[in-house]
Amino acid sequence: MAHVVIVTIGTRGDVVPYASLGAALTAAGDRVTVVTHASLRAYAEEAGLGFAAVPVEFGAGPLTSVRFARTLAGRWLDVGRAIAAAAADADLLVLAPMGTLGYHVAEARRIPSMGAFLQPLEPTRAFPPPLVTTRSLGGRGNRVAARLFRVAGQVPFARATAKFRRELGLPPLGVRATFRRMEEERWPVVHGFSPSVVPPPEDWPAHRPITGYWWPAIEGEAGGLSSRVRAFLDDGEPPIFVSFGSMSWPGLTAIVGAALARLGRRAVVQRGTADLSADGANVLVVDAEPHAELFPRMAVVVHHGGAGTTAAALRAGVPSVVTPCTADQPFWAARVAALGAGPPPIPLRRLTAGRLVAAIEAAAGYRPGAEAIARRLASEDGIGAAITEIRKRTAAARNSGAAEQPPISGASESPPGAGAAGAPPGSDATGLPPEAGGKRFR
C-alpha cells in the first residue's frame, strides 16, 4: 500500500476532482492524504481521505488572479513547510499547478512526484496559454507565450522558494532551471479534462497525457439534491440554472433578476460569491447543490466558465450560456462554443439583461451539440487512465531505485523583482500583449 499525497490550492473546484481521484486510489488499496485549505477539508474527508492543511485562506470576496497571487506569496514558505510535514512518510506526491513546492519536497525526500493539472498548461503551437488569452499568437508565439507565462507565474514566489530549498538542504535552482529540468527528466503530468473537449495537440509530449475528467463521485454520496430543490424540479418544466461561482460583478443580481423577469421561465439561482438573489414564484434561490444531479434536469446552464462547472454542464448534455471573467474561464467558454454546446460566450464585464435573455433563448438550438459531447464523455474513464499513469510513475521510481533529481550546474534564482524574460513595460507578464492578433482557437 502506497501513501499518496495530493497537493492542491485554490477553491472548491480545485479540490473536488482531486478528492475523486484520491477516492479511487483508496479503493485500489492506497492511502491518500489531500493537502489543501482548512476551509475545504470536508471534501477530502467526505471522500474518505486523510487531510492536512496549508496555512492560508483566501477569505470572502471574488478570487481574482491578483488577489490569489498576493495572498499566496505572503505565506509561500509556510505552505512549503506544511507540504513537507504532510509528506514525511509519502511514497508519491501528486501536485496541482500551485502545489509545485512539492516538487522540491520530493527531491529532498528522494521520492517521486508528478503533476496533475485541470487546465492545458503545456506549451503548444496549437493554442495560446489559457490563462492569458484565447486569441492565437501564431504557432511559435503560442509556445513562447506559454513558456514565459509559466515562469512569470512563479516569479512572485521565487525568493521564498529559494529559502525553502535551503531549509530542505537542497542546492539553488531558479524558476527557469526548474522548468528546464522538469522537461529534461520528462516529469510526468496527467491532465484531468477530456480529449473530446481539448484534443491533444500534436506537439504535446506523451508523458503528459489528457486522461479525461475526474468526476466527483463523492457528490451523489453526500446526500444528493435537497428536498426543496427536488420538489421544485418535480413541479414543472426544466428550469434555467444561473450561477457565477466564486465570481462577482457590480449589478449582477439586478441583471439576472431583470433577465428572468423578461423570460418568465422557471429558474434555479445559486447564490455563490456574488450573493445572487431573484424574486418570483417560479424562481428558487439555493446554496450548494450537487451539479451532477442538478444539471441534467436543467433546460440551460448559465455559468462563469470555471473548469469544473463547464465539465459538469457538458457531462449533463445541457446547453451552456457562459459569461467568463478571468483566468481560464474564457478558454473553457471558447471550447463550449467551438463544440456547439452553447452560443458564443458573453464576457461578464459586457453582460446585460438583454444579452443574457438573447443567449438563453438561443441556447435551445445548441442542445444537439451538448448531447453529442455528453455521449462522448460518457465513454471515457478519466480516473482509470489517471491511475494507470500514477502506477507507471511509482513503478518507474522503484525500478530506478531512487527519485533523486540531480541539480543543474549554474542554476540560480531569479533576481528579486525579476519578471518574465524581456517583458517590456506596458505588456502583461508574458511580455506579449494580452489580446495579440490572430484567430481564436477553435
pLDDT at 40: 92
Residue 199 DSSP class: P
Among all chains, which residue has been given the C-alpha cell 479511487? Answer: 24
User: What pLDDT was estimated at residue 259?
Assistant: 96
Place of cell 417560479: 282
The one-letter amino acid code at 216 reads: P
287 by Cβ neighbours in 10 Å (0-12 / 13-18 / 19+) ranks as exposed
User: Domain 220-378, what fold?
Assistant: Rossmann fold (3.40.50)
- Residue the block writes with cell 426544466: 238
Amino acid code (one letter) for 221: E
Residue 264, sorted as left (phi over 0), alpha (psi -120 to 50) or beta, turns out to be left
For position 102, what pLDDT does the model report? 97
What's the one-letter identity of residue 237?
E
What is 3-213+380-400's CATH topology? Rossmann fold (3.40.50)
The residues, ordered by sequence, that sit 6+ positions from 316 with a Cβ below 8 Å of its Cβ are 291, 292, 295, 296, 298, 301, 370, 374
Backbone angles phi, psi at 417, to 5 degrees: 80, 0
Q: What is the C-alpha separation between 15 and 40, in angstroms, rounded?
A: 8
Residue 67's CB is within 10 A of a number of other CB atoms, namely 13
> Which of these, 68, 66, 48, lies nearest to 58 by C-alpha position?
68
CA distances from 3 to 28, 31, 94 (A): 12, 5, 11
Question: In terms of C-beta density within 10 A (0-12 exposed, 13-18 middle, 19 or more buried), how is residue 384 classed?
Answer: exposed
Distance CA 290, CA 284 (A): 15
> Considering only CA atoms, which of 40, 42, 39, 5 is closest in space to residue 22?
5
- Tens digit of pLDDT per residue, the chain (442 long)? 899 999 999 888 889 999 999 999 999 999 999 999 999 999 999 999 999 999 988 765 556 667 777 888 889 999 999 999 999 999 999 999 999 999 999 999 999 999 999 999 999 999 999 989 999 999 999 999 999 999 998 999 999 999 999 999 999 999 999 999 999 999 999 999 999 999 999 999 999 999 999 997 644 444 689 999 999 999 999 999 999 887 777 889 999 999 999 999 999 999 887 788 888 889 999 998 989 999 999 999 999 999 999 999 999 999 999 999 888 999 999 999 999 999 999 999 999 999 999 999 999 999 999 999 999 999 999 999 999 999 999 887 777 764 444 443 333 333 333 333 333 333 333 232 333 333 333 3
DSSP assignments along 339-401, one per residue: TTSSSPP--GGG--HHHHHHHHHHHGGGHHHHHHHHHHHHT--HHHHHHHHHHHHHHHHHHHS
pLDDT at position 63 is 61
Cell digits for 2? 502506497
DSSP 38: G
Q: Is the Cβ–Cβ distance between 150 and 183 less than 8 Å?
A: no
DSSP string, 135-170: B---HHHHHHHHHHHHHHHHGGGHHHHHHHHHHTT-
Most distant CA pair in the chain, distance: 69
Rounded to the nearest 5°, which phi and psi values hold at 5? -110, 120
Where does the chain hold its CATH 3.40.50.2000 domain(s)?
Answer: 3-213+380-400, 220-378
One-letter amino acid at 318 equals V
What pLDDT, on a 0 to 100 scale, did the predictor assign at position 69?
A: 77
Interatomic CA distance for residues 17 and 315, integer angstroms: 14
Helix axes 101-109, 158-167, angle to 10 degrees: 20
pLDDT in tens, 137-158: 999 999 999 999 999 989 999 9
Q: Which of 81, 70, 49, 339 is CA-nearest to residue 218?
A: 49
Report whether 44 contacts 12 (CB < 8 A).
no
Round to whole Å and give the CA distance between 32 and 22. Answer: 6
State residue 114 phi and psi, 5-degree precision: -160, 160
**Residues in CB range of 318: below 8 A, 6 or more apart:** 295, 296, 298, 299, 300, 301, 367, 370
Residue-level pLDDT at 295: 97
The pLDDT value recorded for residue 136 is: 94
Q: How far apart are CA 127 and CA 43, in angstroms?
A: 33
Taking the C-alpha atoms of residue 246 and residue 339, their distance in angstroms, rounded to an integer, is 25
Q: How far apart are CA 33 and CA 52, in angstroms?
A: 7
